[in-house]
Amino acid sequence: MFGKSNRIVIVLLLALCTMTGWSSPANPGEPYQANVALSLDPAKIEATLRWRDDVGQIDAIVPTLDKELTTSSAQGMSFIEIDPEVVGSSISALEGTDLDRSLLTGSESKDKFYVLENNLRITNPGSATCQGLKLEVPLMADIDSPYQELVAEEFSVEPLILNEADNGNRIGTFAFNDIGPGQETIFTQRYIVKVDGSDWLQSAGQVALGNTEPYLAAAPKIESNAPEIKAVASQIIDEAHAEDSLNLARRAFDFTHRTLKYDSTAPSANKGALAGLKAKAGVCEEFASLFVATCRASGVPARIVNGYASDVSELAGEGNAANLTGRRHQWAEFYLEGKGWIPADPTLTNSLNPMFGELPVGYYLAQNYGDLPIRGWYRGGQVSIGFEHKLAKTVGTEDNEQVSQF
C-alpha cells in the first residue's frame, strides 16, 4: 500500500466515459447488447488539445467518439467495456512543423529512473449504490524492450488475478468496495522504471525470439497480407538485393516516413496501415502500423509499442511531477537475430535525430504492446471512469530504494 508522501496533484482527465446499469433481460441468463454513447466532456477535450499553448503550439487532435464501449446485462449484472485511449498523438509532427528545429537536446546515455502513476477515478453519479464492482485493467507490460526495465510496481488495490500474455501484456482483475451515490474511489497503479538510451544496433541483444509467427502475421490494422502492402514489400526486397533484415527494416522505415503525411484530421487517422497507405496520411498509429506491416510482409518480425513520448524535452524533469495528458504515442520495434528488439519511430524521426535503432533517453516511456480495453461488472447505480497519467523523475538504485516525487 502507499505510504504517506507529499503529492503534487495534477488532475486532467483524458476522457470521461459514463456507463449506466441496465436491468435484467427478458430471458434471464441471456446477455444482450445495449447501445451506449461515449460521453466526452468538451472542457476536458479542450484542455487536452491545448497542453502546449505555453510554447505556442496547439495540436489539432480530433477525438474519436465511436470508441469501443458496450454495456450488456445478465442476471442483473451490468457489463462495461472501455477503450481508454484518446485518439492520435499529441506530438507536434504536423504539417508545417520543422522537426529539425525540435532537436532533442539534453539526452544522456546513462540510465534514468522514473515513477509513472496511472489513476482511474471511479465515480457513481447515479442514485443507487454501485455494488460488487470488478474491473479487468490493462497494466504495464512485462517489458522486454531493451531500453526500458520495470523495476517495481504497486497498486492501491491488490489484484485478485493477474494474467500475462505471451507478448508480456498483463491484465489484472480488481475488486472494489461498494460506491455510494455521488461517491468516488481512486484506483492507482504506480510503476518504477529504468530507461536506457543506448544505440541498440551496436549492442548485443539478450532477448531470443522463440516463436516469430505472431510478429510476422497479419493483424487488425497491421494488414501485412494486403496486396498493396505486399507490393511495397516486394519492391523493398528487390531494391535490397538480399534478405538482410536490417537493410529491409531500414528501407521499410524510410518508405513509411517518406510516404505518410502527419494529419490528425485525415479520415485514415487511427485506421491502421492499409488506410494510411491508401490516404498517404494519418497519425502515429498509421506510421507505426505501416512500418510494422511492411516489415512483416518483408519477412522481418516487428511489433507495435504503445506508451508516451515527447519530441521537445524529457517527459518529466527534476522535481515536480509532469502531466502526461496528450502525450500518448505509438512507435515500433523490429527484431534482429543476435541483437533483439530494435526501436524505430517513423513519426518523429528527422534528419538531425533519426529514430532508428535508438531512442533518446527520457523522451519515451513504453506501456504495452497493444491497447486493451478496460472491462468490468457491477450491480446497481452508475459508473463513471476518468483517466489521469503523471510522471516524475526519481533517484534509483538497483535494490529498489527509489523515492517517489509525487
pLDDT, one tens digit per residue, over 159-199 is 999 999 988 899 999 999 999 999 999 999 999 999 887 66
Mean pLDDT of the region 62-69: 27
- Given this model, what pLDDT does residue 358 score? 85
Residue 405 covered by a domain:
no
Report the alpha-carbon distance of residue 283 to residue 345 in Å, rounded.
12
Q: How far apart are CA 100 and CA 350, in angstroms?
A: 6
User: In this structure, are residues 150 and 191 in contact, taking their beta carbons and an 8 Å threshold?
Assistant: yes
Task: Give ∠ CA 336-338-341 in degrees, rounded to 5.
Answer: 40
Q: How far apart are CA 11 and CA 24, in angstroms?
A: 36
- The reported pLDDT for the residue numbered 206 is 63
Q: CB–CB of 104/363 below 8 Å? A: yes
pLDDT at residue 143, rounded to an integer: 87
Q: How much is the pLDDT for 103? A: 27
Query: What is the structure's pLDDT at 320?
Result: 75
Q: Which residues of 53-87 are buried (b: 16+ CB within 10 A; e: fewer)?
A: eeeeeebebebbeebebebbbbeebbbbbbbbbbb
Q: Tell me the CB-side half-sphere exposure of residue 201, using CA atoms within 13 A.
A: 15
Considering the domain architecture, whether residues 170 and 280 belong to the same structural domain is answered as no
CA–CA separation, 288 and 359 (whole Å): 15
Q: Which amino acid is at 176?
A: F
Q: Give yes or no: residues 378 and 363 share one domain.
A: no
State the pLDDT at residue 237: 92
**Quick check: is 6 in a domain?**
no
Residues 79 and 93 in one domain: yes
The answer on pLDDT for 56 being more than 50 is no
Residues 76 and 165 occupy one common structural domain: yes
390 lies in a domain? yes
- 3 vs 23: CA distance, rounded Å: 40
* Whether residue 381 is found in the same domain as residue 236: no
* pLDDT tens digits, one per residue of 231-276: 999 999 998 876 689 999 999 999 999 999 999 999 999 999 999 9
Number of structural domains (the chain) is 2
Give pLDDT, residue 77.
Answer: 65
281 and 263 in a single domain? The answer is: yes
* Residue 51 belongs to domain with CATH number: 2.60.40.2250
Looking at the domain assignment, is residue 346 inside a domain?
yes
Pull the grid cell for residue 309. 513520448
Per-residue pLDDT band for 353 (boundaries 50, 70, 90) equals: confident
pLDDT at position 204, please? 60
138, 106 Cβ separation under 8 angstroms? no
Q: Kindly list the strands in the beta sheet with 32-35, ordered across the sheet, starting from the edge strand earlier in the chain.
A: 32-35, 69-74, 77-82, 374-379, 131-139, 170-175, 161-164
Q: Please tell me whether residues 363 and 381 are part of one structural domain.
A: no
Residue 229 has pLDDT above 50, yes or no: yes
Q: Is the pLDDT of residue 200 over 70?
A: yes
Judge whether residue 402 has pLDDT over 90: no
Q: Which domain, by its residues, includes 357?
A: 200-368
User: Which CATH number do you get for residue 329?
Assistant: 3.10.620.30
pLDDT above 70: residue 139: yes
User: Given this model, what pLDDT does residue 304 score?
Assistant: 96
Nearest-Å Rg of the Cα atoms of the chain is: 22
Q: How confident is the model over 293-318, as pLDDT tens digits? A: 999 999 999 999 999 998 888 888 77
pLDDT: which is higher, 243 or 109: 243
Lowest mean pLDDT among 54-58, 313-317, 333-337: 54-58
Residues 92 and 150 in one domain: yes
Asked whether residue 341 falls in the same domain as residue 380, the answer is: no
More confident residue, 140 or 20: 140
C-alpha–C-alpha distance, residues 201 and 279, integer Å: 32
- Asked whether residue 124 is assigned to any structural domain, the reply reads yes
Residues 246 and 354 in one domain: yes
Complete DSSP assignment for 307-342: EEE-SSS-SS-SSS-EE-TT-EEEEEEEEETTTEEE
In a domain, 42, yes or no: yes
**Same domain for 389 and 337:** no
Rounded to two decimals, what is the model's pTM?
0.73
Give the rounded percent of residues in the chain with a pLDDT score beyond 70.
68
